[in-house]
Amino acid sequence: MPHERGPHDWVLHVDLDEFLAAVEVRRRPELRGRPVIVGGDGEPTARAVVAAASYAAREHGVRSGMPLRTAARRCPDAVFLPSDRPAYEAASDEVMATIRRFGVVEVLGWDEAFVAATTAEPEARAAEIQRAVRAATGLVCSVGIGDNRIRAKVATGFAKPGGVYRLTAETWMDVMGDRPPDQLWGVGTKTSRKLAEMGITTVRALAAADRDRLARRFGPSMGPWYRVLALGLGGTTVSAAPHRARSRSREVTFPRDLTGREALDGHLVELVRRVAGDVAGEGRPAVRVAVKVRFAPFFTQTRSVALAAPTGDLAALEAAARAALDRFELTRPVRLLGVRADLAPPAEPEEREAGSPSAAPPAEP
């Protein structure tokens, strides 16, 4: 969409920069500018992973999901802090309340949301949001501007840190065409590797790929979806309806590696019990149960089992989890065990725009 003078409907994607670390620095101003790493109980020798890292820590190669011990080796001068969920939730609520003054807001998570905007100057509106968020909370956000949700979300990556970037149908392929597919929203490194095996190494190539060939490789739903993402297509509706979780999960990292099925069974049952409680709290039954196992030193696999019928019954969830665990070859020590229940969709799902993808891409298979 060109820079025309008249007002147009835009989607703004507001994304808070280094959110968890920024919340910690907000209450500890003396840490400003220092590398800050949030995760576990804040002890770098603990068997936990990085939940978030400040930009100063990322300059040393620290990334989310990295073992804290690895992060400590890469950035020995970092300040390690425990995760504080209530503090992050409270800060997120402050931000969302602030940006709701600017239009309909669809919350995507603690640190990001879509905002609907009808304006001739979307960059000016984005700057207003940034100033309001900083004034109200002391936090910094980046804003992606798009003529649909997908482009707004991707644009934010070019806006960081603390900037504004517009991406539209006219500019999409010029900006994204020669980039690797994993820079698309919803295409991870595993899928990108599989695409490379097919000779598809750029967004432009994926956009031109044969739908049937993609369907054969990734399935009838996911294959064509990746091509849609590469074309930058997507819906434009921003909904203020409350976020509905797609799944609920629990996991545990063991202080010492466990070996053998018997050592895992008790932990599996406890995780299923906690997940069943979460499922009951959502008010929707589960349709699939997945088990995640992280082997030493840091190799992760997931196996899942579809339920015969949607249910929240503890015995049924436990049986499915045990069946999923049966699919692993437990020949190596285990450092982490997780259980996830995929939930049935809401009884009245939000309408999709004809021919457009849903609010967020499905998880990578």
Q: What is the sign of the dihedral through the CA atoms of 268, 269, 270 and 272?
A: positive
Distance CA 265, CA 29 (A): 45
Residue entry with tokens 């899928």: 191
Total Cβ atoms within 10 A of residue 218: 19
> Are residues 38 and 48 in contact, defined by beta-carbon separation less than 8 angstroms?
no
Give the CA distances from residue 333 to residues 65, 67, 266, 300, 321, in Å, rounded to whole numbers and listed in that order. Answer: 20, 17, 16, 12, 19
Residues assigned a catalytic role: 112
Helices then strands, counting H and E runs in the chain, come out as 13, 12
Cα dihedral 87, 89, 91, 93 sign: negative
Tokens representing 321 are 């989890």
Q: Report helix, strand or coil for 250.
A: strand
Best CA proximity match to 167, nearest among 189, 190, 149: 149
Distance CA 175, CA 167 (A): 8
DSSP letter for 178, please. T
Q: Check: CB of residue 307 under 8 Å from CB of residue 341.
A: no
**CA dist., res. 73 & res. 84, Å (int):** 23
Helix H or strand E encompassing 243 = none
Contact criterion met (CB below 8 Å) for 53 and 38: yes
Tokens of 169: 């149908």
